[in-house]
Amino acid sequence: ETGVTQSPTHLIKTRGQQVTLRCSSQSGHNTVSWYQQALGQGPQFIFQYYREEENGRGNFPPRFSGLQFPNYSSELNVNALELDDSALYLCASKGGGFDYGYTFGSGTRLTVV
Amino acid sequence: AQRVTQPEKLLSVFKGAPVELKCNYSYSGSPELFWYVQYSRQRLQLLLRHISRESIKGFTADLNKGETSFHLKKPFAQEEDSAMYYCALSPYNNNDMRFGAGTRLTVKP
């Protein structure tokens, strides 16, 4: 039982639309990261939140934004969807220090048509 | 910026043979390195951490700072080891984690 749940599991959106993906982290995990995993690629770091503030960001445009809430849930928002945004989006959380690994959710498969 | 390279996308060995999955990294500071594994139809999960120097499911990985490598090894592969393996790097005292592209390991009977 990993304790990280993501919703929805699958989603189809039209180019130009906006989408919100949700994640419920493991209780006590105050760090959450979001990753984009394209087919055949490793997870690419989007951003990270610690205690409700963004404290790290990968090479993604501002139309990718997020929120973290006090109840260990978080959101990934993507505006003006593009076809290349089609991917598996992973949420991962952890507590403890830098040397602890992440616990991953199963992901949300987003398809942009 | 940190970078993780896994030079082999696919690796196939026979059951009982030794296996080594390669991982090279570039980072100017002191990194923390991890191996993650994803079995078929399961979520990504932590296999082992560099700092713990542990052996998990018979796998070990040694950090070689001179060669900037963190190869994953197992002396005798089992069919249940077939999975996707990702090497990941986190800069010291920073929670940002970067992944390699992954190596798909197939252990044949």
Pairwise CA distance, residues A109 & A87, whole Å: 6
Higher pLDDT, B34 or B53: B34
User: A64, A47 in Cβ contact below 8 A?
Assistant: yes
CA distance B53 to B71: 13
Sole residue written with tokens 């055949």: A40
Q: Can you give the pLDDT at residue B8?
A: 95
Please name the amino acid found at residue B100. Answer: G
CB contact under 8 A, B96 and A45: yes
Closest CA to A96 of B48, B95, B55: B95
> Does the pLDDT value for residue B96 go beyond 90?
no
pLDDT at B38: 94
Tell me what the pLDDT averaged over chain B comes to.
91
Q: Name beta bridge partners: B17.
A: none
Q: Is the pLDDT of residue B64 over 70?
A: yes
Calculate what percentage of chain B has a pLDDT beyond 70. Answer: 96
A94 touches chain B (CB under 8 A): yes
**Residue A51 Cα, gap to closest chain B Cα (Å):** 13
Q: Which residues of chain A have pLDDT under 50?
A: 1
Of A2, A33, A101, the CB nearest to B34: A101
CA distance A41 to chain B (A): 5
